[in-house]
Chain A
Amino acid sequence: MILATLAGLVIALLRRSRFAGLRWCASVYIWVIRGTPLLVQLVLIYTGLAAVGIYQFHDVSLLGLSVKAAVQAAIIGLMINESAYIAEIIRAGLDSVPKGQFEAAASLGMKPGKVMRWIIVPQSLRVMVPPLGNSFNGMMKTTSVLSVIGVSEMFLVAQSISSYTFHTFEIFIVAAIYYLALTTIWTFIQAHIENRLARQLGIEQRVRITQRLLGARRAGAPTLQPQG
């Protein structure tokens, strides 16, 4: 997810590049990746590349841990897939910052990189976190697709247990609870991040976890643009 966010950031910035060629590359990347299923991408990366002899993943050991070939392919595949969506989220976030903010920063003599770092990104984060959270949440569940290339993730494990115990219902209920537990933990983290960002903007907003999970109403959603 972190890799995907970084890659997504790079692609989103490419799309804003001064050079038409870079913008074009980024757009095509997003178009192709979002237009094809993750399942197909994974099989292409893991099996397809090896079949045509471009690249074959091998097990490697990293910091004393052995990383299986399929796991490497899974990480790369998920990163590529997710980065295209994240690039779009970041683009929307950056677009949400009013033009006057760019102009004010530029008129102080800030270079484009600093304008992004100190003025634009801090303001767009707040807009980006909820959809990024969605993405992350979705990705945790998408890991079930990885069973296709033989990564022993939860779904594959559950399937193999059920195939010799025949307790299909019980085992997949347990799997579902595990998935729910993982995404719930993320929900907590996301609420924490959102509250922090709101505090940075001087907005009194406390989303309680219970509100978050049980969908309680939030009165008077705060807006980002105080100036008229």
Chain B
Amino acid sequence: MADFDRESMLEMFSFEMNQLVDQLEQTIIGSESGFSMEFINEVFRIMHTIKGSAAMMLFDTIATATHAAEDLFYYLREENPEGVDYSELTDYVLACMDFIKDELAKIEQKVPVDGNPAPVVADITGFLQRLKGDETATPAVASAPATAAPSSSTKSSDNPFGKHKYKAKIRFDENAQMENVRAFTIVNNLKDYAMGILHEPEDIITEDSIEAIRKNGFAITFSSDVSYKEMFDILSRSVYIKDIYLEEFTQESFDLDGLHSYFVKMKFDEGALMENVRAYTAVHNIKAYAEYLLHVPEDLVDETNAEVIRKDGLKLDLVTTKGYDELNEMLSQTVYLKELSIEKIKHEISEQEIAPKEMQEVKQEEQKQEVPQETAKPVVAPASTPVPSVPAVQDSQSAMPKKSAAQAVISVNVSKLDQLLKFMGELVIAEAMVTQNPELEGLSLENFNKEARQLKKIINDVQETVMAMRMVSLSNTFFKMNRIVRDMCKALGKEATLEIVGEETEVDKNIMEHIGDPLMHIIRNSLDHGIESPERRRAAGKPEKGNILLEARNVGSEVWVIIEDDGNGLNKDRIMEKAKNNGLLKKPENEYTDKEIFQFIFMPGFSTNEQVTSYSGRGVGMDVVNKNLEFVGGSVVVDSIPSEGSTFILKIPLTLAIIKGMIVHVAGCKYTIPIVSIRDSFRASTDDIFMDPSGNEMITVRGDHYNVVRLNEFFGLQGDVKVIEDGIMMIIENGDDAICLFVDELIGEQAVVRKPIPKYIKQIRGISGCTLLGNGDISLIIDVAGFFDK
């Protein structure tokens, strides 16, 4: 495995695993009350995929844990037992998920993946045993991971090969990448269902085979007890498959093509030695005549298999045009041969195709010395297709509508989207530079202007689409909270439902990443501090089951995420007391408004909980809320009514990259002020201005006092406008603070693409970035928070 590009494989692995785990977790929590058959199948399938991938990447701990869970769901699927405690079952499955998540985190952090799956496995197998104990009548078959069909009496006892012989050709999507790994996964998955798997190219460990697989597809021959339809399903489960051609060898096709199917068993003399090499020679000799050839053991190069052959012999599953006698003669020539048995096999065709007449033929099966009269028959139709081989594309569409629906969505690297956005911004500017080119001035350009408008319209449409592409719905993040509520309720002995509203609201991908954590902390806080125990709720005349509302809605250019609980509310006095003890008060106690007091809970290390529980009390959580929101330019507002509940409102900008800005003129430079921060703008007169004792200018607007900041002085520019009457006053707010900003003139409102200031220039207070205007000029974007820093 060392030859692989393990880094990128790991990345892909953890990406796929995380997706599967998330998907699984959501489905499980959604159906804690009872599992439908469809659901059990889905869990089984996901578990199986996780197990296969983990085993392939040599993460045994994950494979072991999922294997146990897979067994359990296999049992549920096959036996459909009654009276299962689904809540308990959910606990075990979630524990298993958590274990996998921990291990995945270790993989991502590149630390040894060393978790101990034993407790998880013990829980699950224990549960399984109990289930089985209840249902004594059912045979214990659950330990086998395969969908083993009922064992067939029509084949001889030591024939290891399956009833059906298959030949499959799989082609992968053009952009699948690492086809050899994909192929390896398929082979690995098949091992549970099939025997004697042979594939072409033979070497899928090294990357050399990628090219061959891309060109010719990946061909596999194997035998299995699984029916054609099931086998097709099994193969289709793999990802990135473009099409599958699966062909089953049936008696009918044998008859048509004049083929015979044999089961051969060979043993070598005791003193022969190197049985694997002898077996290899025998196989090699016969290969040329075989239409289809499988052998057990599969690997004849590996010397350890010499021992296996010595003991159990070499077994061949063979389809050839040669008659029995011919074959016997050919194989007898093998040196050191001790035993040779050849069985002629008649094949059932897939169950659904079995006609009564053919059923009789099956009985002839074990006639070992059947006269090889068919050898004389010419090969009738070599090109004819064996019976049930449906072109894969059609089949996959009809059999699995889910899969084709999933293909309507592709995953794109975020960096590509970022790049697209960057180009989009440039396109907008380039368009303005062309259509507003100074050289066009004074010309009468009726047609040009018409086409220019059309161009602008198209560019606007493209821009909207580009922005829309970056938007992701909050539903994933929201539904993850279900798990937190469930776990915490169980642990704290509380009862609460999570009501989710407006989860389809979308925000920019970059912002999305920063709101998962704040949400989690606020919900934990609500459950731990807000929602009371059922007894206390009953005493207070509230319904025993608490309610947490998680709502998202669009408000202007912001998205508000509202978390509302009907718990006890925030304890204002306790918060105040704690703030006093921590020396956080900056003005007299009685001057603090409720909102200001509640804001204290977002200070680092602030917790009114005397006891540190496993969920809260360390004072870390709410601090994260503030930090993350500040990072995306959002804010949080808290409100609370004692004994009725608390409301947290997270105000999040829709997008980081494109903002609506007001372009203003100051000392010959253009600055952009985010529209969201502008409360008001007006023309003031010198008389409105008064000085505070330290000489700072102040102004009173509608009864509120504001500090006046002259932007040109703040930035140390040579301002053109010194007289208050000539300029414009703008009230700029940041959270609850506001100042009055004095600028030379307003130019206009425009949507601008925010670009960072080149990193060679160190961070400048008051400036958050820059943007390109339509004429190619650069405008600096004002960082409103910069005016409020102490």
Tell whether A and B belong to one assembly: no
